[in-house]
Structure 1
Amino acid sequence: MKRPLLAPLAPLYAAGVRARSLALRLGIEPVKLLELPVISIGSLSAGGAGKTPFTIALARLLLSEGISLDVLSRGYGRQSKETLRVETTGDAEMYGDEPLLIASSVGVPVFVGASRWEAGRLAEFDVSKLPDLHLLDDGFQHRQLERALDIALVTTQDIADCLLPAGNLREPFSALRRAHIFAVDEADDDAAAMIESRGWKQPILRYRRRMILPDPLPERVVAFCGIARPEQFFAGLKAAAISVAEECVFGDHHRFRKQDCIELRQKLARSGARSFLTTAKDYARLGRLREMLEDIAPVRVADIVIEILNPHVVTLSIQRLVAERQRVH
């Protein structure tokens, strides 16, 4: 339990989750439909499951199969309230760090909006030729948008966690029954066993996570991050034998300020480190503040890349969806 003092509030949150599910089932909260099929990638947790790198991996896989797509995202943490197409020359305050990372990594159109239906409508209006489908990043709980396929990432950490605000879960474990496909890390057999113990028959897609480090490896670094599970970042650096002079942890989706960079510079000077090392998301959120750090030392990036090991589990389903839409139209 991440925040035990807030445990008394968890039943109230759970009641809210049940009320919303009932509203969706009864049609009190409407479910909207886009012209193109929607493939949702999500999880139970508010962060740390690997949804963004999985979305990037799935987008690359589908593109390699000749399936065209765009991506719809909330753009968590951004300051703008507009529904927008992401420009890779923009910043995280306008679009959010995850949409920027997806757009720059995959090179497909990415649209952000609090309403993913409005983002999808903009996507379908914005192009002269429609793609085959929309990928919905972090969409498992965004149930007010109809989807053709729900892919849910499942981790042992989520199974052991509890509901917000005491824990990090948006929904209880039982909500996973809505998923059409489960995605589980190849090293997380406990999560796969837990799914099977429930008697759920949905296929399980397995994937491999790898940390891609700068080449050549930095000699001595000040490592910092503002992600949901910072321990994974630092464990990856340790496994790669990176010499970390100082660690600095910020809150998830932290908005970097000038004072943060001043303190990071002080840590570097005090520790004798030769460079900074951070995650791809944090690098995106630094924006122009990177210059404050780069004035005294390079800012290096460690990225997480996902490889889907049994791609036919998902590609066959999506190819059928695309073929059916093409047949109808």
Structure 2
Amino acid sequence: MSLAQMIQDAWNEQAKWLIVFRPLSWIYRGGFLLNKKLYKIGAKSSYTAPIPVMVIGNITVGGSGKTPLLIHLVSYLNSLDIKVGVISRGYGGKGPFPAYVDLNATAETVGDEPALIVQSTDVPMAVGSNRQQSIELLLSKHQLDLIICDDGLQHWALARQLEWIVLDNNRGLGNEKLLPEGYLREPKKRLETGTVIEHSSNPQTDLNMHLESSQPYLLNKDLDTVFDPNKDFYAVVGIGFPQRFYNTLEKMGIQHFQCHEFPDHYEYELDDLQFEDANPIITTEKDAVKLLAILKKNPNFKREIWVVPVDAVLSPACYETLHQQLKQLGLKLPEGI
């Protein structure tokens, strides 16, 4: 087990030995607050885009459900005839950056989440660490009304008009400590400054969302077989909070699966998919964009790989809040909204 995975497990278990990282957490906190202060007093400059920017992020390390939320919002905004573009850091991608993401872009080049977002929505998207360059690239190609920044909540170099902060109540805030003693990127009081969307099947607030899975599909297009939930599966997953995926499998009635966890944004190799028997693999859509590349390079690989799609389901209050925020930004909505 890698050190990163061991720390991730300790965070999830709120292990007491994490206290050894407290001095590093103090250093992290000091550096974070200093950087934020420099932007606030103008010692560091922020880029203000010519159109409104909405950031969707979280204050924790690891998965919170923000990517399914972003995909849903892009589709919904398009239905309102609002022209939206998306930018992202492109974590895990090799570039060069800034990179325009189209339907032919690979996860290896632009990152797994951007590839998934564009394949799901066909939204105009650009990736790179310099968000200004990404926005300028998008605006050079498209006439847009709104930019959505995937993650980047702590990226003060980009000014924003809206912030939606996803809080996964299945995972919570852990021991409520900053990195690396805990998995908080910012103190929990940061939740007071943005629109918090509670990710929970049993929400305590009006602004909430949950994920609903649908029928798994086969990644191997050349195989002709029907999904059987009673089979024994290898659950291959490389996301921030794999337990959520296991819970999804159980809710779908899939009881027999062996867990094979990899770090978030893991670069898969063919050997990672080799097992002693011929039992099928089941995985997430985020992992699938990388596994598909392996299948294309290895056409003789015949093990079934099933992908579980998930959709974000938002509460009515989320739409009401979104409509109000968009109107405040001067964006025109259809009559009756």
TM bracket, shorter-chain basis: 0.7 to 0.9
Residue 200 of structure 1: aligned partner:
none
Residue 197 of structure 2: aligned partner:
183
Q: Give the alignment of 1:114-263 within 5 angstroms.
A: 114-127=129-142, 130-156=143-169, 157-161=171-175, 162-179=177-194, 181-189=195-203, 192=205, 205-214=207-216, 217-218=227-228, 219-260=231-272
Q: Judge conservation of contact 2:53–2:159 (CA < 8 Å) in 1.
A: yes
Distance of aligned partners of 1:213 and 1:167 in 2 relative to their CA distance in 1, 3 Å threshold: farther
Output one character per residue of 1:280-318: Cα deviation in whole Å (capped at 9) or x when no partner: 111112242135497222211112210122211112211
Using the TM superposition, give the Cα deviation of residue 29 of structure 1 relative to its aligned residue in structure 2, in angstroms: 1.7
Distance 1:175 1:294 in 2: 50
3-state SS in 1 of match to 2:73: helix
Structure 1, unaligned runs of 5 or more: 193-203, 325-329
Residue 274 of structure 2: aligned partner:
265
4-13 vs 93-102, which moves further: 4-13
Task: For 1:146, give the aligned amino acid.
Answer: A
> 2:66 matched to 1:51?
yes
Distance 2:265 2:178 in 1: 20
Q: Judge conservation of contact 1:103–1:110 (CA < 8 Å) in 2.
A: yes
Structure 2, unaligned runs of 5 or more: 1-9, 218-225, 333-337
Output one character per residue of 1:256-302: Cα deviation in whole Å (capped at 9) or x when no partner: 12332xxx3224x1xx52x2111111111224213549722221111
> 2:302 matched to 1:296?
yes
> 2:289 matched to 1:284?
yes
Q: Give the alignment of 1:32-71 within 5 angstroms.
A: 32-71=47-86
Task: For 2:249, give the aligned amino acid.
Answer: L
Give the total of aligned pairs: 302
> 2:326 matched to 1:318?
yes
Root-mean-square deviation over aligned CA pairs: 2.1
Distance of aligned partners of 1:166 and 1:81 in 2 relative to their CA distance in 1, 3 Å threshold: farther
Task: For 1:210, give the aligned amino acid.
Answer: E
Per the normalisation by structure 1, the TM-score is: 0.85
Distance of aligned partners of 1:19 and 1:293 in 2 relative to their CA distance in 1, 3 Å threshold: farther
Task: For 1:206, give the aligned amino acid.
Answer: N
Using the TM superposition, give the Cα deviation of residue 171 of structure 1 relative to its aligned residue in structure 2, in angstroms: 0.8
Using the TM superposition, give the Cα deviation of residue 141 of structure 1 relative to its aligned residue in structure 2, in angstroms: 1.1
Using the TM superposition, give the Cα deviation of residue 49 of structure 1 relative to its aligned residue in structure 2, in angstroms: 0.8
Task: For 2:327, give the aligned amino acid.
Answer: Q
Per the normalisation by structure 2, the TM-score is: 0.83
Using the TM superposition, give the Cα deviation of residue 9 of structure 1 relative to its aligned residue in structure 2, in angstroms: 1.5
Output one character per residue of 1:63-95: Cα deviation in whole Å (capped at 9) or x when no partner: 111211111111111112410110222211110
Distance 1:209 1:315 in 2: 22
Task: For 1:189, give the aligned amino acid.
Answer: P
Task: For 1:232, give the aligned amino acid.
Answer: R
Task: For 2:246, give the aligned amino acid.
Answer: F
3-state SS in 1 of match to 2:103: coil
Task: For 2:165, give the aligned amino acid.
Answer: A
Residue 6 of structure 1: aligned partner:
21
Distance 1:226 1:84 in 2: 24
Q: Judge conservation of contact 1:111–1:123 (CA < 8 Å) in 2.
A: yes
Distance of aligned partners of 1:210 and 1:114 in 2 relative to their CA distance in 1, 3 Å threshold: same
Q: Judge conservation of contact 1:62–1:315 (CA < 8 Å) in 2.
A: no
Distance 1:188 1:210 in 2: 13
3-state SS in 1 of match to 2:329: helix
Q: Judge conservation of contact 1:132–1:322 (CA < 8 Å) in 2.
A: no
Task: For 1:150, give the aligned amino acid.
Answer: E
Q: Give the alignment of 1:14-33 within 5 angstroms.
A: 14-33=29-48
Distance 1:80 1:143 in 2: 23
Residue 4 of structure 2: aligned partner:
none
